[in-house]
């Protein structure tokens, strides 16, 4: 039933938008048919300012299967190589869900072909590779964004409003974040995320990207003072990290010596969790689905202000307030595509329109933290200073 509804919704949206001829509509090509591409294909066709124009895989048969399995309109072009899609002059932007080891080659080539780049996380194997991608995009006047969908959810916007209201949380003292999933034996045998030659960052790149990004988000993208991997790192026979924890510490450059401590835990070995807790001097925010909301149409979080224990410590003086944020118009991945397409369309149609530097900066700082954790692991869990 879900598959039928998914195909019906996607096909209806695509047929409607294929008939449109609005100049502002951004034509996307998908480079690679990974499973996450199904979700983003749907998002591209739901967003009002974008349309799926082409799909490419390393073989024409795989690309055709992707189109058939996802109910794509027959007018979507199907290519049996990435180069063919990049050579299509009608493609304005590409979405790349490729293995991380392939990002720098194909993203740079896309930029050289004049395509704006929306790329899956982690963006690269290290910040040096990412800088190569960003330079290619910037020098060709092209927008870059990574696929961190949760940043575009209206719940995230609402939480940030409260987070930086000095009358509410106050100074952030502590951040805790997890991203875990209990992977199957087939995952450990076949998935690219545990293959050293394809995605050597493993759980650090796949899951850690979200948790490290959440820490940066909560600190308004201020870089920390020191990052330290904790000595609970688990690797597979390929040397790929499949479970880890890390400490991220901020020491404010002032006489007060104020600090913010963050702990993250990411693993392919534990039951599903997506926790985010931010504790300030006056209150706290809590949610357990920050990466993928439990419901597509709405999401919630708990906010607690001025909590104290009652007499004899037999309870609390307040209960957390549940804040519900609706997401009626588009799911978070649709909002991501819509924002990316908005910038791309502006660059294409408005003389002098500048690239939005926010998204490359967020990606680069997140990649820097990923690199720092990896370096700490390689050093035997020693601290890495910024």
**Helix, coil or strand: residue 55:** strand
Please answer whether residues 117 and 133 qualify as being in contact, where contact means their C-beta atoms are separated by less than 8 angstroms.
Answer: yes
Give the pLDDT of residue 19.
43
DSSP, collapsed to helix, strand or coil, labels residue 267 as strand
What span, in angstroms and rounded, lies between the C-alpha atoms of 203 and 207? 5
- Out of 17, 39, 77, 121, which one is annotated catalytic? 121
Q: Are 359 and 143 in contact (CB under 8 A)?
A: yes
Six-digit token pair at 70?
A: 């996802």
CA distance between the termini of the chain? 51
Tokens standing for residue 384: 């890495």
Residue 299 to residue 327: CA distance in whole angstroms: 8
* CB-side neighbour CA atoms (13 Å) of 355: 18
What is the rounded (10 degree) CA torsion for 330, 17, 11, 68?
A: -110
Kindly list the distances between the CA atom of residue 176 and the CA atoms of 77, 104, 211, 289, in Å, as whole numbers in the listed order.
Answer: 44, 31, 9, 13
Tens digit of each residue's pLDDT, the chain (386 residues) = 434 444 555 555 554 444 443 446 999 999 999 999 999 999 999 999 999 999 999 999 999 999 999 999 999 999 999 999 999 999 999 999 999 999 999 999 999 999 999 999 999 999 999 999 999 999 999 999 999 999 999 999 999 999 999 889 999 999 999 999 999 999 999 999 999 999 999 999 999 999 999 999 999 999 999 999 999 999 999 999 999 999 999 997 655 567 999 999 999 999 999 999 999 999 999 999 999 999 999 999 999 999 999 999 999 999 999 999 999 889 999 999 999 999 999 998 887 788 999 999 999 999 999 999 999 999 999 999 99
Active-site residue flag, 365: no
Query: Residue 310, SS3?
Result: coil
Residue listed under structure tokens 């599903």: 272
pTM: 0.92
- Main-chain dihedrals φ then ψ at residue 205, nearest 5 degrees: -80, -40
């Amino acid at each position: 039933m879900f598959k039928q509804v998914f195909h019906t919704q996607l096909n209806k949206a695509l047929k409607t938008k294929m008939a449109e001829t609005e100049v502002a509509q951004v034509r996307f090509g998908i480079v690679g048919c990974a499973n996450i591409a199904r979700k983003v294909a749907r998002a591209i066709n739901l967003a009002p300012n974008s349309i799926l124009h082409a799909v490419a895989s390393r073989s024409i048969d795989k690309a055709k299967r992707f189109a058939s399995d996802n109910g794509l309109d027959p007018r979507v072009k199907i290519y049996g190589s990435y180069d063919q899609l990049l050579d299509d002059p009608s493609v304005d932007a590409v979405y790349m869900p490729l293995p991380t080891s392939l990002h720098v080659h194909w993203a740079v080539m896309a930029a050289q072909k004049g395509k704006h780049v929306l790329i899956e996380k982690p963006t690269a194997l290290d910040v040096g590779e990412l800088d190569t991608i960003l330079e290619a995009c910037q020098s060709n006047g092209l927008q870059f964004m990574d696929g961190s969908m949760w940043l575009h959810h209206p719940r995230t916007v609402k939480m940030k409003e409260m987070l930086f209201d000095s009358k509410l949380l106050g100074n952030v003292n502590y951040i805790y974040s997890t991203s875990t999933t209990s992977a199957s034996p087939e995952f450990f045998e076949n998935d690219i995320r545990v293959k050293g030659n394809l995605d050597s960052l493993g759980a650090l790149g796949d899951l850690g990207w979200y948790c490290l990004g959440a820490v940066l988000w909560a600190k308004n993208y201020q870089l920390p003072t020191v990052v330290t991997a904790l000595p609970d790192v688990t690797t597979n026979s390929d040397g790929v990290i499949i479970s880890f924890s890390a400490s991220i510490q901020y020491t404010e450059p002032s006489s007060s010596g104020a600090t913010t401590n963050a702990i993250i835990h990411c693993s392919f070995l534990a039951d599903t969790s997506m926790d985010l807790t931010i504790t300030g001097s006056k209150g706290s925010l809590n949610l357990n689905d920050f990466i993928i909301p439990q419901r597509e149409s709405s999401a919630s979080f708990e906010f607690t202000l001025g909590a104290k224990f009652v007499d004899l410590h037999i309870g609390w003086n307040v209960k957390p307030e549940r804040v519900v944020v609706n997401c009626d118009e588009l799911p978070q991945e649709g909002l991501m595509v819509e924002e990316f397409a908005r910038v791309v369309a502006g660059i294409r149609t408005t003389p002098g329109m500048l690239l939005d530097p926010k998204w490359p900066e967020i990606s680069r700082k997140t990649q820097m933290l990923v690199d720092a954790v990896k370096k700490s692991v390689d050093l035997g869990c020693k601290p890495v200073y910024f």
